[in-house]
Amino acid sequence: MHKTVDILVSPQEASSDELIKMALEKKLNSKDFKWKLLKRSIDARGENPKFRLRCEITDEGHFQKQFQTQFEYQDVSRSEPVVVIGSGPAGLFASLRLIELGYKPIVLERGKDVKLR
């Protein structure tokens, strides 16, 4: 997985790959990644100039673990049915909540047949 990160560092830090990696580690709270410098620009506003670095972070394992979600829903095919009217956001959320509570939602939507829409 690729992620683009911007960091602001001093000119001394921008001159060393090791110091750039340390700044990225601090920003990402991780030490297990590969990085590549995409863009380097100078922010000379104020008394102390800074370098704004745009880096591409590559780490399949870390980012996938961070965003991986496990869903375990119980089998509700033989549970008590509950009718939900409408398949809008509220109806779909209500159906999801009913499944979590162990009920079998039956969603009804008015309108033309799905094949005709």
Return the number of other C-beta atoms located less than 10 Å from residue 14's C-beta.
21
Residue 51 pLDDT more than 80?
yes
Can you give the pLDDT at residue 72? 77
> Is residue 75 included in any domain, yes or no?
no
**Cα–Cα distance, 54 to 4 (Å, whole number):** 7
CB pairs under 8 A, 24+ apart, for 21-28? 24/55, 24/57, 28/57
Structure tokens at 24: 């990225």
> Is residue 96 included in any domain, yes or no?
yes
| Same-domain status, 63 and 30 | yes
> Model-level pTM?
0.49
What are 102-117's pLDDT values in tens digits? Answer: 999 999 988 777 677 6
**Cα–Cα distance, 51 to 44 (Å, whole number):** 8
User: How many independent structural domains does the chain possess?
Assistant: 2
Give the domain extent around 55.
2-67
